[in-house]
Structure 1
Amino acid sequence: MDNVSAHPGERNRIDLTRQTDVQFWCRVFDVSMDQLRDAVHHAGHQAEEVERYLRQKNIHAV
């Protein structure tokens, strides 16, 4: 996963209502739109929490 702080706009908050944010965070986390929405639903809108959730999910999937 890329450096989360690279996002120039909302810093570390993921706004699912903004298509540019969704596209950006999908690229950062290398996930689909559905995976991003699921992660935000479970972890909240803070990028650090979403990243933590995605990492945990990947670990459990292995």
Structure 2
Amino acid sequence: MSVSRRNLLKIAAATPAAVGLGALSPEVPPASAAPLGLLFDYAAGVLKAADITAAGGIGAIRYVSDRRPG
């Protein structure tokens, strides 16, 4: 059985759509995990621990980059 280029491209184009339709299947229950908490992501200044907990957070992540020449 030979496959023409046109048929091969049709199959290649339809495959992602078919896989996507399978992902929409109602048989898989949604995840039901509770959130673990709130983290604050910041780049300037230093947050006080009391301020983080007062705002409902459990921690913070601070972005610090390397100095650039110049």
Q: TM-score, normalised by structure 1?
A: 0.20
Relative CO higher for 1 or 2, CA cutoff 8 Å, sep ≥ 6?
A: 1
Q: TM-score, normalised by structure 2?
A: 0.19
Indicate the structure with greater helix content.
1
Which of the pair has more CA radius of gyration? 2
Indicate the structure with greater strand content.
2
